[in-house]
Structure 1
């Protein structure tokens, strides 16, 4: 949950259509490298760069990983052509021109209500420039008493979802500012993923105001007002279990709706879907570590499987990915950067959430920062935080390496032989995630902690093809060349020294 409050634990690829215009792939010519004598695997002398690679299916040799000189700088994810729809296999997204789209979003939840237009432009532009492809925002402020930055209230009376306050003659009001924010996102190539009425971790935001009488009417109003915006997605709920169990309603003020809001949410979702003039994808933002499949899985508007994890994102994404009904899976939220309550994640742990989600099959990943979500003092400086920079590196890796369908690898999968030494212990820093590219063209491996070496079986990808191997530093984007033309069931790849985690790229 944003804000670090515990609750039931209360509460962050667009591919350039002109793909041929992209810089050429990072081809690296075969280099003459320093050779050492081999006295067993443990007897290799490791140079200052701290790694090695052995292709034992060829003549015994050791190639020292070294920086790739003159490699073009990786470009982040590019702007999309809207609207976004599901891919043919329903595992991912494509834009209006059929190009793969990866949803990489930030969570300035209160940006619409608390930012001026100047501030919003600063935020959205910074995120576009960093390689993000979406912003997740609440249409209404988390505080039902709040007006927007211009003093406009959303409703004639507090909480009256079926009575929006509109200026005469299409004048300036709360809803015209919402439209301006959506349109600014569209101009920058960003999805505006909107929560209609944030329910709150304990129902302490808008949940109590959602009733059988107003939910459908509010959804119909939003569809009439914004249903023609091709860059809009809808994310119903908001950090909440829609049933009346647990803490879902403990914060609802007296006199308001404390019962389940399942039927009300369905009515809102159906009204949004029926009133939309263009494709607007939809999902539900759950409470942490829960699924809402049982409540909304049969609804036509429930397009995207919802994952909301703790620090270990992989099992929650994997569980949604494995469902019989195939949908794209998005990690709508995990733990934020700059938390001041436990668990407080360091920089490596923040980015590990994103990489493990990607390796578990996520078609979208969402990052968050404590100051940005609430538009708190220091939010501008937080836009340039180290972890948000790491998301820019992830964006570039996805754009360059993962634009095609990815298939998660696990110990139970047929391609688990890719890493003969196994995938570590799930939920710990030893955990290793991996995805394969279609048609055996390669794989990406995320290694969460330093190790002396990692063994790769390229025959798990293709029985005879040879592969190039290199490392990418997820903290800097720096690349280390390992080897070209490697094939076989026992290719040992050494670790670049000083890196805390790494992405191994194996490509034909």
Structure 2
């Protein structure tokens, strides 16, 4: 039986009956691209950085970097187009070995069952239709996934980067979800949906255990990191929420627009999501890890949304943002936070970019730029400190209060900060 479950507050997870902050790394291409030796190093490094969940595609990622491993789940002549009639057992044996290694290191697996390009009627299958899985093969494949991976107690991400704009796509995912609910009743199930999307079909809504949304890699829509959890909270029954694909570090802006996301951008996406209701966890991504880029490997002819060139995986695994995300988990653990209530209505500044949440007798505020911050409450019995999220320095800050509002004065740092307000000790 799976040892991860939804907490009673319906906002967070428990694992082994203890609060569990879902801190995932995106490694979609693991089963096709990563050698066993590389995998051992990857697991050791990500564990050191604080990650506890791995998001993996059970099928070959359509826009992965070209692989020199040479194993695939189905017969194929070119590594791109598959024969959906039988399985290649070597692929699954190897994938099981990788899962076993990950679980031994303490990682929770989150496995995608059907990425969107395998399903008709999605935006991905309209870009390339060479690998649409026959509908009558879907039950066979989903049962194979359960047979091979269920013993590792994964979370099942039934869809990958998908939309539900056609009935045809909904029917495919309904088939998969029904089988998972029947044959793996104790596992947690969710849907990984496309950037900026907030539609969960009624046919699937009651069968998933928590929500995943994606603020994604579009330069001009990074506000989705806090807008989407607000939308989900108003639109759907209460369940834990996760930003399962915020902007990836050093990912080129989508649609081949010039520029890349830096560590400050990834921190902002994480903290603004968490303080806006998606406090169950967050996912990190490094451009070169998710698609596993190696030196001198030829380019994949399918480029998905069209991002700039990735770094090699050896470079990408050392990006600073991975440590920043581990620091998120560390801070929440240190302050014993397992639930954060968004309270942005208390913000007196004329912006939505600053995010405010409350945890019992503490307030958490994220601000990317330095300014005085007004909170529409009397916080005279609180003390404030600012944590420099770039260099991990800490400063006490002055709070000036009236009976109606409090002003948190400017901190001394130049990058983004997390401000923590905590009640003064009565002693």
- Fold in common (TM above 0.5): yes
Specify whether residues 387 and 206 from structure 1 end up closer, same or farther in structure 2 by C-alpha distance, changes over 3 A only. farther
Q: Distance in 1 between matches of 2:397 and 2:66?
A: 56
Aligned-residue offset at 1:379: 1.1
Residue 493 of structure 1 pairs with residue 408 of structure 2: yes
Residue 124 of structure 1 pairs with residue 43 of structure 2: yes
Structure 1 equivalent of residue 105 of structure 2: 188
Residue 351 of structure 1 pairs with residue 267 of structure 2: yes
Structure 1 equivalent of residue 325 of structure 2: 391
Structure 1 equivalent of residue 289 of structure 2: 372
Structure 1 equivalent of residue 171 of structure 2: 263
Q: Distance in 2 between matches of 1:207 and 1:397?
A: 46
Aligned-residue offset at 1:260: 2.3
Q: Distance in 2 between matches of 1:224 and 1:88?
A: 30
Aligned-residue offset at 1:174: 0.8
2:156 counterpart (229, 234, 240): 234
Structure 2 equivalent of residue 321 of structure 1: 233
Aligned-residue offset at 1:434: 0.9
Structure 2 equivalent of residue 474 of structure 1: 389
Aligned-residue offset at 1:354: 0.6
Specify whether residues 145 and 318 from structure 1 end up closer, same or farther in structure 2 by C-alpha distance, changes over 3 A only. closer
Q: Distance in 1 between matches of 2:244 and 2:128?
A: 19
Aligned pairs for 1:201-280 (under 5 A) are: 202-203=124-125, 208-230=131-153, 232-244=154-166, 260-276=168-184, 279-280=186-187
Higher CA-based Rg: 1
Structure 1 equivalent of residue 302 of structure 2: none
Q: Which structure would you say has the larger RCO, counting Cα contacts within 8 Å and 6 or more residues apart?
A: 1
Aligned-residue offset at 1:498: 3.5
Structure 2 equivalent of residue 307 of structure 1: 213
- 1:146 and 1:153 in contact (8 A); partners too: no
Q: Distance in 2 between matches of 1:99 and 1:356?
A: 25
Q: Distance in 2 between matches of 1:388 and 1:147?
A: 24
Specify whether residues 191 and 149 from structure 1 end up closer, same or farther in structure 2 by C-alpha distance, changes over 3 A only. farther
More helix by share: 2
- 1:393 and 1:475 in contact (8 A); partners too: no
Aligned-residue offset at 1:311: 1.5
Specify whether residues 218 and 487 from structure 1 end up closer, same or farther in structure 2 by C-alpha distance, changes over 3 A only. farther
The TM-score, its normalising length taken from structure 2, stands at 0.82
Aligned-residue offset at 1:401: 2.5
Q: Distance in 2 between matches of 1:220 and 1:393?
A: 38
SS of the residue corresponding to residue 272 of structure 2 reads helix
Residue 175 of structure 1 pairs with residue 92 of structure 2: yes
Structure 2 equivalent of residue 49 of structure 1: none
Q: Distance in 2 between matches of 1:269 and 1:206?
A: 22
Specify whether residues 505 and 124 from structure 1 end up closer, same or farther in structure 2 by C-alpha distance, changes over 3 A only. same
- 2:59 and 2:115 in contact (8 A); partners too: yes
Q: Distance in 2 between matches of 1:145 and 1:159?
A: 16
- 2:110 and 2:157 in contact (8 A); partners too: yes
Q: Which moved more, 1:320-329 or 1:81-90?
A: 81-90
Structure 1 equivalent of residue 195 of structure 2: 288
Q: Distance in 1 between matches of 2:268 and 2:170?
A: 33
- 1:361 and 1:408 in contact (8 A); partners too: yes
Q: Distance in 2 between matches of 1:292 and 1:271?
A: 22
Aligned-residue offset at 1:145: 12
- 1:238 and 1:284 in contact (8 A); partners too: yes
Q: Distance in 1 between matches of 2:319 and 2:227?
A: 27
SS of the residue corresponding to residue 143 of structure 2 reads helix
Aligned-residue offset at 1:486: 9.0
Q: Distance in 2 between matches of 1:404 and 1:144?
A: 35
1:194-236 per-residue CA deviation (whole Å, 9 max, x = no partner) reads 1123224522578952332011221111112222222x11112
1:442 counterpart (362, 371, 396): 362
- Unmatched segments (≥5 aa) in structure 2: 118-122, 216-220, 295-311
Aligned-residue offset at 1:287: 1.9
Q: Distance in 1 between matches of 2:10 and 2:324?
A: 28
- 1:86 and 1:94 in contact (8 A); partners too: yes
- 1:197 and 1:207 in contact (8 A); partners too: no
Q: Distance in 2 between matches of 1:317 and 1:149?
A: 39
Residue 102 of structure 1 pairs with residue 21 of structure 2: yes
Q: Distance in 2 between matches of 1:471 and 1:145?
A: 40
- Unmatched segments (≥5 aa) in structure 1: 1-80, 167-172, 245-258
Specify whether residues 145 and 455 from structure 1 end up closer, same or farther in structure 2 by C-alpha distance, changes over 3 A only. closer
1:117-167 per-residue CA deviation (whole Å, 9 max, x = no partner) reads 11112222211211122111111212499997653331246544562223x
Report the aligned-residue RMSD. Answer: 2.9
- 1:210 and 1:261 in contact (8 A); partners too: no
Aligned-residue offset at 1:193: 1.0
